[in-house]
Structure 1
Amino acid sequence: MTQVKKVLIDCDPGIDDALALALAHGSPELDVLGVTTVGGNVELAHTTDNALRLRDFLGMTAPVARGAGQPLVTEPINAPAVHGVAGLGEAQLAAARTELDPRHAVQLIIDTLGAAPGEVSLVATGPLTNIALAVRTEPRITEWAADFTIMGGSYTRGNRTPAAEFNVLADPDAAAVVFEAGWTTTMVGLDLTHQARATAEVRERFADLGRLEAELLTPCLDFYGRHRSYRELGPAIHDACAVAHLIDPSLITTVPARVDVETRGRFTTGMTVTDFDAADLNAAVATELDADRFWALLADSFRRASDGLPT
């Protein structure tokens, strides 16, 4: 019998965050203990509202807590051209019926990890502001987390700039804090996630998923796929890759490395400088995806999520 893994998800929904949450919820291998929100793909008000709407739509029971809306130092950046003004493309989910957890996201992170040291996996699919603030507030979370995975960074080129991936660029100072915190960060970056393209053939696997397909997957992916960077090969489902790594680590090949974040540079702010030959390692960097098994996993988990949607 597969052991269920407890997970806490810090995110900025966001289309690919929404699909990552659906994947996590539909996976029997994961028990989602909490969802925390951060400003990123769209402003914090939207990412938080989207997380609440998604919780109700999917039938999740985990608490949702609002976190940081501003980076530690730099000015905020968003991506409405990629995700839509409200963040979920053309999806029109019903207004949230449930309420936010009264705690700040940072406190929920600390409380959840501290309540079960070594038992809860932490995954971040947005800018790393909440995680950096949690590390600064309670440094022991780096020991309490069973493991720590991010969707962010790149060891080749960026997507928001030639040097920087969006999530890291959105708060490079926070990313620097996180990579320097003393734990091993599994970096699921663009080099890996660009191998997860939702082509027309892939999307055929989701065609009979009822309301999940009609109300979430199609309106999100249709909008996502119209962005100029995705038209030719299909949209990259970035954040679901980080969650998939928790479900089945064998889907993704990782290589030990040293990752440092460039916080100030005329052309390189937000760059994740990756050294695979370093002696002082602080990361496991994702390099190769078993795409066939990845999409099979998503299809199975989405089917379970679809079958369990509240009426």
Structure 2
Amino acid sequence: MSRTPIIIDTDPGVDDAAAILLAFASPEIEVLGITAVAGNVPLTATLANACRIVALSGRTEVPVMAGAEGPLLREQVYGKYAAIGAFPEHLVGSGGVTPAPEHAAAFIARTARAAAEAGTPITLCAIGPLTNIALALRLHPDVARGIARIVCMGGAFTALGHRVPWAEFNVFADPHAAGIVFGSGVPLVLFPLDVTMQALFTADHVAALRDGGSAGGRALAALLSEYDRSDPARYGRPGGPLHDAMTVAWLIAPDLFTGRPARVGVEEGGTTPGHTWADFTDPSAAATVMSQVDEAGYIALVVDRIAARAPAAQKETTA
């Protein structure tokens, strides 16, 4: 089986935990590294959470690196649960994984340049603010050539934002970085709130994660139970989304999603920083904006993979 080499740039976060666990549980994917950025919570907490998720997965050979402590230019903003910080020990244990010393942006740049030289470009799964990736793209002109695509959870077009009314959080947290990434010319696959909020995980799905037998499934179920994401007033029915896991799910099962080409941009300042726009009429568009998801198929993929007793990649190597 041909495996897709990826780096996950992340600010864990419950959604991010689901994305990382899904990647580790999928033999179609080769995780080269996990790079942490400040976002949902401060960098010290996102880094600690990333290390805990890697330890939980048993994939301690995968390096975890710290990146940017804050956005390029704007003032720091955090997510809804910023005061909580790192995952509580009773939900996700520490596990003993320690960060590698290399800076996240340097690791992304070095890995991408090596991939360009080898003719095997990598994929970046961007599920936090885009600061690390923007920094990496500016480090050397060869970096962009080594990136096959950036699969990004970010933006909101027809949906209202979930941190401020006009913007999705990852873009709002560092709109200048988003502007660099969106304008880099690297092919972009974008998962805005318009599509991520179409798939809602209910209490039954949380129970299936908990009862499936894997440590990752139990931990994710505990996180989802502790930080209830159900919002019937907004979504019109019970349940809550797992936004970030869609980026990984698309790499595994792209037929679950529908999108169309667009040129995308972001308002970097003014009164609506982080507001994203899309031009679906531009023939030179380098982005694909996802607009629909097979809800049942996506949820089944996430639950079945993460709830399995051992990550699929580990089963393959031990068979």
On whether the aligned pair clears a TM of 0.5, the verdict is: yes
Q: Relative to structure 2, which stretch is displaced further, 25-34 or 276-285?
A: 276-285
- Residue 148 of structure 1 aligns with which residue? 150
Residue deviations 1:46-85, cap 9 Å, x none? 000111111111111210010001100011111243x761
Residue 244 of structure 2: SS of its match in structure 1?
helix
Q: How far did residue 31 of structure 1 move?
A: 1.0
- Note the C-alpha offset of 1:90: 8.2
Hey, what does 1:127 align to over in structure 2? 129
Q: Which residue of 2 aligns with 1:240?
A: 245
Counterpart residue number, 1:307: 310
Change (3 A) 1:230 1:291: closer
Q: Which residue of 2 aligns with 1:15?
A: 14
Q: Would you say 1:192 and 2:191 are equivalent positions?
A: no
Tell me the CA shift for residue 169 of structure 1: 0.2
Give the aligned partner of residue 317 of structure 2. none
1:292 counterpart = 2:276: no
Residue of structure 1 equivalent to 2:282: 278
Structure 2 unmatched ranges of 5 or more: 315-319
1:105 maps onto 2:110 in alignment: no
Q: Separation in 1 of the partners of 2:8 and 2:222?
A: 23
Between 16-25 and 211-220, report the one with greater CA deviation: 211-220
**1:101-135 residue CA offsets vs partner (Å, 9 max, x unmatched):** 11100111012222223342111100000000001
Answer whether contact 2:57 2:216 (CA < 8 A) is retained.
no
- Tell me, in whole angstroms, the C-alpha distance in 2 between the residues paired with 1:43 and 1:214: 25
* 1:57-68 → structure 2 map (5 Å cutoff): 57-60=56-59, 61-68=61-68
User: Aligned partners of 1:44 and 1:131: how far apart in 2?
Assistant: 15
Distance of aligned partners of 1:214 and 1:123 in 2 relative to their CA distance in 1, 3 Å threshold: closer
Q: 1:72 aligns to what SS in structure 2? A: coil
Contact 1:12 1:37 in 2 (8 A): yes
Q: Could you say what secondary structure the match of 2:211 adopts?
A: coil
8 Å CA contact 1:180–1:282 kept in 2: the answer is no
Percent identity, aligned pairs only, is 39
- Match among 269, 287, 297 for residue 273 of structure 2: 269
Aligned equivalents of 1:236, 1:79: Cα separation in 2? 16
Q: 1:155 to 1:80 in 2, by over 3 A?
A: closer
Give the distance between the partners of 2:267 and 2:87, measured in 1 at CA: 30
CA distance in 2, matches of 1:226, 1:291: 17
Would you say how many aligned residue pairs link Structure 1 and Structure 2? 306
Report what 1:172 is aligned to. Answer: 175
Give the superposed CA RMSD.
2.3
Q: CA deviation at 1:96?
A: 4.1
2:151 alignment partner, SS class: strand
SS in 2 for 1:307: coil
